[in-house]
């Protein structure tokens, strides 16, 4: 019984010595990893060391490890750099790396921009777009295929031949339409935007352009000439009437007034009836 108690005593003593040696070793390792731990750090660090940089960050900042050669330095940033996404925990906020094919990401499983050679679709980076989609090399995304769309046809134009609408029986008429939606790279191509067909018109002679123009010019000149002639005649009439009126007025001023002849009956002497 005593021998058994002695054995348990030595076993317990050895176990306590082992626990103490492990704690001492951990303390020594921590001392080697983070020597000179300081509370008065700069650059957003809450705690830091000369060898490893920031060990913890101030509230709302993200902790991220930056590699400098073979060494990693802890830094504290207001937002995570490209290729990282931020995660917040009660005790620490830290930046984690995106997937290898993501240039930027919202979470590890949701990319927002892909690296060269990959196309973004629903938060994933793909080397080839799914069926029904096409690769857009400008945005590096998988987008829907767009087919061409055209407007309705315009009414048929007048029947013409060599630019004229008369002097023939058979000619051509055309109609047109516009492209309202251009296709994407894999979309259906656009149809023709113009159509032409034969047409028949009633034969009629074309009026010579020079003769018609000459007749219109002669009519215009004749009309202007008649108007000018009437105007001149009216002016001459007014001038003649004015001159006659002035002549009468001048004659009245220059001629003396005629005296009235005496009454013959009054001038005759009374006849003597006494004889």
Based on the fold, state whether residues 133 and 167 are members of the same structural domain: no
Measured distance CA(121)–CA(143) in Å, rounded:
8
Q: Which DSSP symbol is given to 129?
A: P
State residue 28's pLDDT score: 41
State residue 33's pLDDT score: 42
CA dihedral 129, 132, 135, 136 (to 10 degrees): -140
Q: Are 57 and 75 in contact (CB under 8 A)?
A: no
Q: Is residue 268 part of a domain?
A: no
DSSP tally for the chain: helices H, then strands E:
3, 16
Domain span holding position 116: 108-144
State residue 89's pLDDT score: 86
CATH number of domain containing 181: 2.20.100
Buried b (16+ CB within 10 A) or exposed e, 41-61: beebbbbbbeebbbbebeeeb
Task: Answer yes or no: pTM beyond 0.75.
Answer: no
In tens, the pLDDT along 191-229 reads 999 999 999 887 767 776 555 566 667 777 776 766 666
Q: Are 60 and 66 in contact (CB under 8 A)?
A: no
Q: Are 194 and 175 in contact (CB under 8 A)?
A: yes
Based on the fold, state whether residues 180 and 161 are members of the same structural domain: yes
Q: Which two tokens stand for residue 95?
A: 């930046």
First to last CA, the chain: 232
Give 10-residue mean pLDDT values along the chain (275 residues). Answer: 51 52 43 50 85 88 87 90 89 90 92 93 93 90 93 93 83 94 91 93 68 65 68 75 77 61 49 45
SS3 letters for 95-111?
EEECCCCEEEEEECCEE
Q: Is residue 60 part of a domain?
A: no
Q: Is residue 157 part of a domain?
A: yes
Strands 170-176 vs 194-200: parallel, antiparallel or unpaired: antiparallel
State residue 268's pLDDT score: 45
In tens, the pLDDT along 78-88 reads 999 989 999 98
State residue 214's pLDDT score: 62
Distance of CA 159 to the CA centre of its chain: 40
State residue 112's pLDDT score: 93
Q: Are 33 and 52 in contact (CB under 8 A)?
A: yes
Q: Which among 147, 149, 146 has a CA at the least distance from the CA of 177?
A: 149
Based on the fold, state whether residues 131 and 172 are members of the same structural domain: no
Based on the fold, state whether residues 158 and 196 are members of the same structural domain: yes
Work out how many domains the chain is built from and give that number: 2
Q: Is residue 38 part of a domain?
A: no
3 state SS of 24: helix
């Amino acid at each position: 019984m005593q021998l058994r108690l002695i054995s348990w005593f030595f076993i317990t003593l050895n176990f306590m010595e082992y626990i103490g040696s492990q704690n001492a070793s951990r303390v020594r390792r921590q001392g080697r990893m983070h020597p000179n731990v300081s509370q008065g750090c700069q650059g957003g660090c809450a705690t830091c060391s000369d060898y490893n940089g920031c060990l913890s960050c101030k509230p709302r900042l993200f902790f991220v490890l930056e590699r400098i050669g073979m060494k990693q330095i802890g830094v504290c940033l207001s937002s995570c750099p490209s290729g990282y996404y931020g995660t917040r925990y009660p005790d620490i906020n830290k930046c984690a790396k995106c997937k290898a094919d993501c240039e930027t990401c919202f979470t590890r499983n949701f990319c927002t921009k892909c690296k060269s050679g990959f196309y973004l679709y629903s938060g994933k980076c793909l080397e080839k777009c799914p069926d029904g989609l096409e690769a857009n090399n400008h945005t590096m995304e998988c987008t829907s295929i767009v087919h061409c769309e055209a407007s309705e046809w315009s009414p048929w134009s007048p029947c013409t031949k060599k630019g004229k609408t008369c002097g023939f029986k058979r000619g051509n008429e055309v109609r047109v339409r516009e492209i309202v939606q251009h296709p994407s790279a894999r979309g259906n191509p656009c149809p023709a935007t113009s159509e032409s067909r034969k047409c028949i018109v009633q034969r009629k002679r074309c009026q010579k352009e020079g003769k018609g123009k000459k007749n219109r010019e002669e009519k215009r000149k004749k009309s202007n000439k008649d108007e000018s002639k009437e105007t001149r005649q009216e002016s001459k009439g007014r001038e003649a009437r004015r001159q006659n009126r002035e002549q009468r007025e001048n004659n009245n001023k220059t001629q003396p007034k005629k005296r009235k002849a005496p009454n013959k009956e009054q001038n005759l002497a009374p006849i003597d009836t006494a004889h």
